[in-house]
A and B are shown apart, each in its own frame.
Chain A
Amino acid sequence: MINELGHFALILAFLVAIVQMVVPLIGAQKRWPSWMAVAEPAAGAQFALTAVSFGALMWAFIVSDFSLRLVVLNSHSAKPMLYKISGTWGNHEGSMLLWVLIVTLFGAMAAWFGGNLPPTLRARVLAVQSAIAVAFFAFIIFTSNPFLRMATPPFDGQDLNPLLQDPGLAFHPPFLYLGYVGLSMAFSFAVAALIEGRVDAAWGRWVRPWTLAAWIFLTIGIALGSWWAYYELGWGGFWFWDPVENASFMPWLLAAALLHSAIVVEKRESLKSWTILLAILAFGFSLIGTFIVRSGLLTSVHAFANDPERGVFILAIMAFFMGGALILFSLRAGVMEAKGVFGIVSRESALIVNNVLLAVACFVVFVGTMWPLVAEMFFDRKLSVGPPFFNAAFTPFMVALGLILPIGSVLPWKRARLSRAIKPLRFAFVLALAVAGLAWTVQTGRSLLGPMGMFLGVWLIMGVIVELAQRTGRGGDRLGRLMRLPRADWGKAVAHAGLGVTMAGIAGLTAWTVDDIRVAQVDQPWTVGSYELTLNSVEEQQGPNYVSTMANLTLSRGGELVAEMTPEKRFYPVARMPTTEAAIDYNLARDVYVVIGDQQSNGGWTVRTYIKPLTNWIWIGCALMALGGLLSLSDRRFRVAAGARKAAAVPAE
């Protein structure tokens, strides 16, 4: 019964979405207030209905209702509750329902918090947002309906892919989707502005919080996914340049570019058409991401539903939205003339360099991701483009970005004198150089990557400190002035420092990892780096839905106990899949990462040990970036905008 209600709610939501797509758009064109007003209640209703539908599906997973085909294929009664819930979106149909739920959520939020938008713009934004929802509702209902029943329900399900049964991954898809779909708001604003034929500072201010929110969610989602890969896949890599990872990384890069260029629109009324184009492309890359994952075009771990029919459907959705938006763009871009005047050396130009670097970096990732396909189709060559290519072709852009960031962020608007602006940064530069030199001398004969990463990390963080110090002026109540800085400034500082921390972490991990692989005998200690490890025992254990081979190791340094470690090898009998559970001793300076392998014929066990310096900095940096975004999002000018809505809600006499 609940399933049918969910199914019915889904179809109703589809119908509401169609109404919301058409009526407000006509209303905005003809200036009929009553037609435009349809958008707001429709957006709320659409979200409520989709939420009911998603809730019904989740309920089916929670109670293990094996009359639903989807639950049979992806769940099992012995699975822990957390993974029953996360199983709702751990499959194709459920994840698409989550996707469309978030589309409607953003639409509803735009309706609720968009009180201060001009009525025509609001009606158009909501109509475009609803058009996206219509496409995906149709996709779900016609090609991947989650509410299909089984003719004869089995006694138990086939279990979720064990790799996905993990707390890190349980929340990775929702965050990623919030990010992907958050960019649909920027897209809707861009298309609505194109229809409206008008982009001004206010538009920049409205679109920025949505982009910022999407970027924060993407940052968190990508960090969670990378952290999961690090501890779950068993050899301690954090980024694989897998097509699906790239699919989430490209929108992140463009969202980062977009939220910077929107600042120029907001503050200086320039870069308008570029910002619009970026907003369209950023969401376009979200759709490409969905297409890559869902079609299985580029095979990858994530493609749990490879189905050509679905791929073609999403390709059609993508072609429609991108094609439509780009045609509209080419017709209307001329209308948007820039107003601000500024010099070659200015904050504006630094932000343009930022945009060029981020967009070209995204392009490199895109070309690398698609190249195997292009080469096979047009040049009849079957080849791979793997991490070595991306490391070589992508890294220079990030290094350049890191180098110019502190300079760009202290440059004043309009026009600047470079020598005067960078003078205070000389301490940061010297300190960064010193740290890099230290790293260079401590390591011997290894790659330049480590010292370079250290330089960038210190340069970025010190740059932030110098900038904050500058903002407080001279003498008097400097601390008070620091505290009273707008939250947007704090957000900028924290996010930029976070980028520095992440860069240092990546360099440390990549350049200075020490690994050791051996057959270990029980009670025979060995050393890796400055650590000593002893294998104490290996035991079989029974988990809730798996059997585990658990080793017990002692990690010590200079005779002192550091940690007891218990790496596991698990086997999931229902899915018939093994997984490795690494044991990791975390700290700020390094991770010690231990994986247990197979038993050898002489009774010893294969044990891999990695010492990975600065690894946690990667995720701490990501957390700082997300926090910076959050601080910026809570800035007064956005809160005041929200407050204006409340004031407007009071009926005027």
Chain B
Amino acid sequence: MKRLALILTLLAAPLWAVQPDEVLGDPVLEERARELSKGLRCLVCRNESIDESNASLARDLRLLVRERLVAGDSDKEAMDFIVARYGEYVLLKPDVTGANWLLWAAGPLMLLVAGGVGFAYLRRRQTAKAPTEAPLSTDEQARLDEILRR
């Protein structure tokens, strides 16, 4: 009955949320909750954030995020709270700790390497001498004659 009452009160004001009954009254908090939800993984789904998922576990997590925000946590505190309970597996965007810097640096490092190799190649090509054409091998000469005879 309490829930029904909640839904009815919420109907009065148009709100943005995942399930109508989860929405927080404070639009600022709700906006923050949705931003956080987008970075949290639904644990039973495949690469889906809890913001997108229909699973009941995702709903529990969404409610938990909102609970923490209502309790006055900052975004970081709320995230830390959830990571402490569910492990870093819930983070869709892995943080840059420990070996994870390899993941984040992989692209830029590879770009430097590839860019360096590419540039070195360009320098070589710029100064290279155009090769003199090698004479045709006997095979090639035979094939050329065959083509010309046609």
> With A344-B123, A363-B106, A382-B89 in contact, do A242 and B20 touch (Cβ < 8 Å)?
no
Complex: A44 Cα to B68 Cα, angstroms? 67
Complex: A341 Cα to B123 Cα, angstroms? 10
Complex: A243 Cα to B106 Cα, angstroms? 18
Q: How far is the CB of B75 from chain A (nearest CB, A)?
A: 14
Give the contacting residue for A349; candidates B18, B54, B122; CB below 8 A: B122
> With A339-B131, A360-B111, A383-B91 in contact, do A243 and B47 touch (Cβ < 8 Å)?
yes
Complex: A364 Cα to B131 Cα, angstroms? 37
Q: How far is the CB of A58 from chain B (nearest CB, A)?
A: 30
Give the contacting residue for A356; candidates B15, B118, B130, B150; CB below 8 A: B118
Interface string of B75-112 (1 = CB under 8 A from A): 00000000000011111111000111001101100110
Complex: A234 Cα to B53 Cα, angstroms? 10
> With A341-B125, A386-B92 in contact, do A601 and B3 touch (Cβ < 8 Å)?
yes
A442 on the B face (CB < 8 A): no
Contact B88 A382 (CB under 8 A): yes
Chain A contacts for B94, CB-based, 8 A: 371, 383-385, 389
Contact A388 B46 (CB under 8 A): no
Complex: A521 Cα to B11 Cα, angstroms? 10
Q: How far is the CB of B29 from chain A (nearest CB, A)?
A: 17
Contact A338 B128 (CB under 8 A): yes
Chain B contacts for A382, CB-based, 8 A: 87-89
Contact B20 A519 (CB under 8 A): yes
Contact B126 A367 (CB under 8 A): no
Interface residues of A in 595-647 (CB under 8 A from B): 600-602, 604, 606, 647
Chain A contacts for B57, CB-based, 8 A: none
Contact A516 B89 (CB under 8 A): no
Contact B52 A384 (CB under 8 A): no
Contact A383 B88 (CB under 8 A): yes
> With A339-B130, A371-B94, A384-B41 in contact, do A602 and B4 touch (Cβ < 8 Å)?
yes
Contact B114 A356 (CB under 8 A): yes
> With A364-B107, A384-B47, A388-B93 in contact, do A341 and B150 touch (Cβ < 8 Å)?
no
A348 on the B face (CB < 8 A): yes
> With A600-B7, A606-B19 in contact, do A392 and B93 touch (Cβ < 8 Å)?
yes
Chain A contacts for B4, CB-based, 8 A: 601-602
Report the contact-size class of chain B (Cβ under 8 Å from the partner).
35 or more
Complex: A226 Cα to B39 Cα, angstroms? 21
Q: How far is the CB of B143 from chain A (nearest CB, A)?
A: 8
Chain B contacts for A647, CB-based, 8 A: 150
Chain B contacts for A375, CB-based, 8 A: 99-100, 103
Contact B88 A381 (CB under 8 A): yes
Interface residues of A in 476-531 (CB under 8 A from B): 515-519, 521, 526-527
Contact A387 B47 (CB under 8 A): yes
B70 on the A face (CB < 8 A): no
A342 on the B face (CB < 8 A): yes
Q: How far is the CB of A351 from chain B (nearest CB, A)?
A: 10
Interface string of B35-70 (1 = CB under 8 A from A): 000110100001111001010000000000000000
Chain B contacts for A386, CB-based, 8 A: 39, 41, 47, 49, 92-93
Q: How far is the CB of A421 from chain B (nearest CB, A)?
A: 17
Q: How far is the CB of B115 from chain A (nearest CB, A)?
A: 6
Interface residues of A in 238-264 (CB under 8 A from B): 240-243
> With A356-B118, A360-B110, A382-B88 in contact, do A343 and B126 touch (Cβ < 8 Å)?
yes
A235 on the B face (CB < 8 A): yes
The 8 closest A-B pairs by CB, nearest first: A386-B92, A388-B93, A364-B107, A367-B106, A356-B114, A519-B20, A379-B99, A383-B88
Q: Which residues of A contact B (CB under 8 A)?
A: 118, 234-235, 237, 240-243, 270, 299-301, 337-344, 348-349, 352-353, 355-356, 359-361, 363-364, 367-368, 371, 375, 378-379, 381-389, 392-394, 397, 515-519, 521, 526-527, 600-602, 604, 606, 647, 652
User: What are 20 of the A-B contact pairs (CB < 8 Å)?
Assistant: A118-B143, A234-B54, A337-B131, A348-B125, A360-B114, A363-B110, A371-B103, A381-B100, A382-B89, A383-B89, A384-B89, A384-B92, A515-B16, A517-B16, A519-B11, A521-B11, A526-B14, A601-B7, A606-B20, A652-B149
Q: Which residues of B contact A (CB under 8 A)?
A: 3-4, 7-8, 10-11, 14-21, 38-39, 41, 46-49, 52, 54, 87-94, 98-100, 103-104, 106-107, 110-111, 114-115, 118, 121-123, 125-126, 128-131, 143, 149-150
Beyond A270-B125, A361-B107, A527-B14, 11 additional contacts (C-beta under 8 Å) are A240-B47, A240-B48, A241-B47, A337-B131, A339-B130, A343-B126, A344-B122, A344-B123, A384-B89, A518-B11, A602-B8
